[in-house]
Amino acid sequence: MHMDGKLIVVSGYSGAGKGTVLKEVFRRMPQCVYSVSVTTRQPREGEKDGRDYFFRTPEQFEEMVERDAFLEFARYTSSSYGTPKAWVKENVKAGKIVVLEIEVQGAMQIREKYPQVPLVFITAPDFTELERRLRQRGTETEERIQMRMEAARREQEYVCRYDKVIVNDQVERCADQLERFFIQAPALDADTF
């Protein structure tokens, strides 16, 4: 059986430092690419179709849902997001390590449909530290901080379903663990999708 690249799902609490750690791992591993999601939301300043997101209308999105064109998807009140199968397949076939940074709900959809895809969860050392990091950003209102903390408590019950949990207590050490996880993750046959 021909093996191609890899698909790895990364989730984590908002404020746990996923972005910083992933940036470090991507710097070390040029074969890594972020999965590009389809969204129905409007592009923000400087965002490009096909680079940041694939921007689609709600009708186009629903048509993709009907065609089973997503690995996972979620509908929120304001907009919908989904991971396009064709894009992931093409990049896995090209030997890339496709990193899918998604919420817990999406990760559980992937676990259900593709149990061989490894899931990793990045967390802060504890909730006190998580809240401290959210406050330190200086970008969140008190209400948003409380919403994010509430979401983290809800997500907590799914953490045990991940293959690996990495505590981001120090960026370099966390990046070392994540890089090792990426290297050890099994290669996938692109035809899985």
pLDDT digits (tens, 9 = 90+) for 124-139: 999 999 999 999 988 8
For the cut 60, the answer to whether the pLDDT of residue 98 exceeds it is yes
6-188 CATH fold? Rossmann fold (3.40.50)
Helix (H) or strand (E) holding 164: strand 164-167
Report angle CA 24, 82, 95 to the nearest 5 degrees. Answer: 50
CA 132 to chain centre: 23
pLDDT at 15 over 60: yes
Q: Which helix (H) or strand (E) holds 157?
A: none
At 168, the amino acid letter reads: N
Question: How confident is the prediction for the chain on average, in pLDDT?
Answer: 94
Confidence class for position 2, pLDDT limits 50, 70, 90? low
pLDDT higher than threshold 60 for residue 1: no
Q: For the beta carbon of residue 165, count every other beta carbon within 10 angstroms.
A: 14
